[in-house]
Amino acid sequence: MDNQAERPGYQFAGWYVDEARTKRINPGGKLPSAITLYDKWIPILYPVSYDMNGGTNSRKNPQFVSVESGVIALHPARKPGFRFDSWVLEGERISVLPERISRPIRLHALFAPLYTVHFETDGGGILQDREADENGYLDSFRPPMKFGCEFTGWFLDPECHWPFDISEPLTQDITLYAGWKSSWYPVTYDTDGGINARRNPSRYSNSREDIPLYPPVRRGYRFTGWQDVRGNILRAIPAGMMGPLKLKACWRKIRSHRKEDL
């Protein structure tokens, strides 16, 4: 009887007299003239070693594999100040261990610099470049500010057509562009008995030019200007002004020239 049978990835465990392989043959016993023997094989456990390159391995990664392990997903390693790139097996990048392994395995951890984000704020507050974490995620941070404008989010293009989702991991170095819209401020008028001009704005936004204000009308009075809450007389909303605006019409009574009034 040949006890030197071979099967790649397995260790021969002996001959058995039952198909379930629970009753091993007695080497010193007498065999009947006709008998069927069943061979039993045990998968060999092969060690998996890791070259961590200064990093720390995941506890989920296997320490042993066998020819019966099947495909095994590999988990990323960690290294402070770097992001995990991939595992390398015999010069090839892999993300899983292949099935039917019948030899010891040595994996090498490959790391790369963290992804960097550059910010273009289009006149807003300056933000320094930031690095994503080892998984490619950006930590939350305050958006920039810009006078007279409301921040609408980060975009992947200068025209602000393609929004950036901060909850998604980065896959490369990128530049983000700040999106803005003008802030609108209400304008309220106290005409003090007069009728306001329809052309006067009910709101305004930060502008580089003065915004004209038109006179109201009131019988028997001459309009002398709009007065703000600080007492300033305005004939236009000044360029660069921001915030809600309350205006009151100032009048001067027109003297009558009729004889009965003399």
Q: Is the pTM of this model over 0.75?
A: no
Q: How distant is the alpha carbon of residue 194 from its chain centre?
A: 55
Per-residue burial over 193-216, b if 16 or more Cβ lie within 10 Å, else e, is: ebebeeebbeebbbeeeeeebebb
Last residue of a domain, one of 74, 90, 113: 113
Last residue of a domain, one of 113, 145, 172: 113
Last residue of a domain, one of 113, 139, 170: 113
Burial class (CB in 10 A: 0-12, 13-18, 19+), 56: exposed
Tell me, yes or no, whether 121 lies in a domain. Answer: no
The answer to whether the CB of 162 falls within 8 A of the CB of 194 is no
56 & 103 share domain? yes
Q: What is the CATH number of the domain that holds 233?
A: 2.60.40
Question: Three-state SS string across 135-166, please?
Answer: CCCCCCCCCCCCCCEEEEEEECCCCCCCECCC
- pLDDT tens, position by position, 194-245: 999 999 999 998 878 999 999 999 999 999 999 999 999 999 999 888 889 9
Report the alpha-carbon distance of residue 164 to residue 154 in Å, rounded.
6
What pLDDT shows up at residue 261? 47
Tell me, yes or no, whether 172 lies in a domain. Answer: no
Domain count, the chain: 3
Tell me, yes or no, whether 63 lies in a domain. Answer: yes
- pLDDT tens, position by position, 19-59: 999 988 887 767 777 888 899 999 999 999 999 999 999 99
Tell me, yes or no, whether 123 lies in a domain. Answer: no
Report the alpha-carbon distance of residue 186 to residue 243 in Å, rounded.
8
Q: Is 64 left (phi over 0), alpha (psi -120 to 50) or beta?
A: beta
Q: Which residue has the tokens 């605006």?
A: 245
Tell me, yes or no, whether 129 lies in a domain. Answer: no
Q: Which residue has the tokens 């550059």?
A: 118
Which amino acid makes up residue 72?
A: I
Residues spanned by the domain of 91: 46-113
Tell me, yes or no, whether 37 lies in a domain. Answer: yes
Tell me, yes or no, whether 92 lies in a domain. Answer: yes
Tell me, yes or no, whether 39 lies in a domain. Answer: yes
216 & 235 share domain? yes
Report the alpha-carbon distance of residue 134 to residue 118 in Å, rounded.
17
